Amino acid sequence: MNEWIEQQLSEVAARGESRQLTAWPTLGPYLQRADQRILNLAGNDYLGLTAHPAVREAAARAARDIGTGATASRLLAGTATLHEQLEAELADWKGHPSALLFSSGYLAALGILPLLAGRDDLIVADRLCHASLLDAARLSGATLVRFHHNDIADAHKRLAKRPHHPRCLIVTESLFSMDGDTAPLPELLALAQSHNATLLVDEAHALGVAGPRGAGLTADQPEAEENLVTLGTLGKSLAAAGGFITGPAKLRTLMINRARTFIFDTALPPPTLAAARAALNEIRAHPEWPRALAEKAARLRARLSSAALDTTPSQSHIIPVRIGDNHRATAIASRLSEQNTLVAAIRPPTVPPGTARLRLSLSLAHSDTDLDAAAAAIQRAAQNIP
């Protein structure tokens, strides 16, 4: 086995796709290394709430008063009052009929897609959908076809070939995690309705930072109640861990009875639930936060664009700087790390070959001074590393 593993690792290294773990004593928008403070542009703590006193205290209080683990799956003895409280609050926040929690966004995807489409059905997915959505689509057994990114005409063309499929599911992200652009959701929803299809939208990177109340780009869609299902995460703006699905109340009942990653998985623990509830309360109490984060992103994007760096079609707090070559992207990221700026060098298979990039992920906790310095450092590194 070792020989086979070595061969695989050598091939990964030759492609410039090697990865390794780095352990940090603290986590969040700023990291610590010895006596150095590191600007973290590789995380997803978009509102800086993991360090918020109310969020930390809520988690600690739940651990003290209830315990550190859920002790069982939801259908056995693992459903706490906190689960149902958070689900009701998430559904209300989104303006959707119901919500159901899963232990991660990945598990939520793996649980919901096989319910919405099966062996005889069709899934039409945006080419840039997250790996969890594509894995779930393959697990469903449905016929999977992928349309060109955000191309409504191409999606329509692929849907038009579905006569023999009883059910059809369209899959997209609302805010794409690697490009920072947004999906044409009104057009996709209209397409779903005209084809009697369901639209599944992954809102992971839009929650807390976009849409009404910061509730994402699918919030408040009563006319779409029968055609719209959304996937969300607690692990980014909501400063905790876990995933959830929103949609019709009957779909929630079906998931409780049929979603394998719900039925056979230990429930989320009380401290995690309490932290997410506290974070959600803070988000709802500060409707100005999404605009403030958008302004930070616009400032940084303008600095990068003025230096002739390719920030692709991003219009959000996720700003990719396209490099192209895998080895050059990792070299630039390494140079920036030496200057106390952590950025992610994103390479295949996460993104298509030839599109390696630096992915800058902003937090409301980042200071404008630090972001300006990061822009200058990125410009220098990109110029000095061929």
Residue 384 catalytic?
no
Rounded CA separation 18/213 (Å): 40
Catalytic site residue from 103, 104, 140, 177: 177
Closest CA to 328 of 340, 345, 311: 345
Question: Which residue is catalytic, options 83, 165, 195, 236?
Answer: 236
Selecting among 44, 305, 337, 340, the annotated active-site residue is 44
Of 87, 126, 173, 181, catalytic: 173
Is 177 labeled as catalytic in the residue annotation?
yes
Write down the catalytic residue from 94, 130, 296, 366: 130
Cβ neighbours for 74, distance < 8 A, ≥ 6 positions apart: 83, 256, 262, 263, 267
> What number of CA atoms fall less than 13 Å from residue 314's CA on the CB side?
31
The closest of 97, 98, 101, 107 to 74, measured between CA atoms, is 101
> For residue 334, which phi and psi values (nearest 5 degrees)?
-65, -40
Residue 156 has which token pair? 């329509």
What are 25's two structure tokens?
């004593």
- In the set 94, 96, 195, 205, the catalytic residue is 205
| Active-site position among 202, 203, 265, 282 | 202
* 11 is a catalytic site residue: no
C-alpha atoms less than 13 angstroms from C-alpha of 350 in its C-beta half-sphere: 18
Q: Is residue 157 flagged as an active site residue?
A: no
CB 151 within 8 A of CB 143: no
| CA distances for 293 relative to 68, 117, 260, 287, 340, angstroms | 33, 37, 37, 11, 22
Please give the Cα distance from 190 to 224 (Å, whole number). 9
- Collect all residues with Cβ–Cβ distance below 8 Å to 307 and sequence separation of at least 6: 375, 378, 379, 382
Distance CA 175, CA 231 (A): 12
Q: Is there a contact between 323 and 378 (Cβ–Cβ < 8 Å)?
A: no
- CA–CA separation, 93 and 280 (whole Å): 9
- 205 catalytic per annotation: yes
Active-site positions read: 44, 130, 173, 177, 202, 205, 236
